[in-house]
Amino acid sequence: MMLKEIIDKDPIAKFLFERSIFTYSQLDTYLIDTRNDTSLKQKIMLRDGKHVSKGSFLRTLKQAQMNLKKAFYTLILTEYLGILESGTTVGLIHVGKALNQISTSAPTFEDIKKVLDTIDVTLNQLSKPTSRRKNIM
């Protein structure tokens, strides 16, 4: 299943993608690479949209991998420097696990909305200066 199918079927994936650092091409390429144990030529053919060269596919994959690494380094750095409270990154990992469990349990629209609203509120709180944050995690 390529990214377009995932986003069309999964409102949580759509919500998270729209707020991520990945471009559409980067996430589509990353998903193809991680979910398909096939040749590079076959992976390229799975990409949504127009055909791309091997070089373009690999360049996009490398960009996606770097964005993911930078996102984790950013979280670690902000916790290390005290911008985020200690344990925040662990809390975010728990959010990811909870989302994974919800996605396998056929949630209702209300369940999904509640989870997405909670994520939004939590992450909005994280972006406020420490002195104005409430206990969020």
Tell me how far apart the alpha carbons of residues 33 and 54 are, in angstroms, rounded to a whole number: 13
Q: Is the pLDDT of residue 69 over 80?
A: yes
Q: 112 and 131 share a domain?
A: yes
Q: 37 and 11 share a domain?
A: yes
Tell me how far apart the alpha carbons of residues 133 and 78 are, in angstroms, rounded to a whole number: 15
Q: Taking the model in full, what pTM does it have? A: 0.78
Predicted confidence at residue 108, as pLDDT, reads 81
**98: containing domain:** 83-137
Mean pLDDT check: name the lowest of 21-25, 65-69, 74-78: 74-78
Tell me how far apart the alpha carbons of residues 28 and 10 are, in angstroms, rounded to a whole number: 15
Tell me how far apart the alpha carbons of residues 97 and 18 are, in angstroms, rounded to a whole number: 19
Number of domains in the chain: 2
Long-range contacts for 123-126 (Cβ within 8 Å, ≥24 apart)?
A: 123/19, 126/84, 126/88
Q: 47 and 109 share a domain?
A: no
Q: 70 and 89 share a domain?
A: no
Q: 36 and 101 share a domain?
A: no
Place of tokens 């707020």: 19
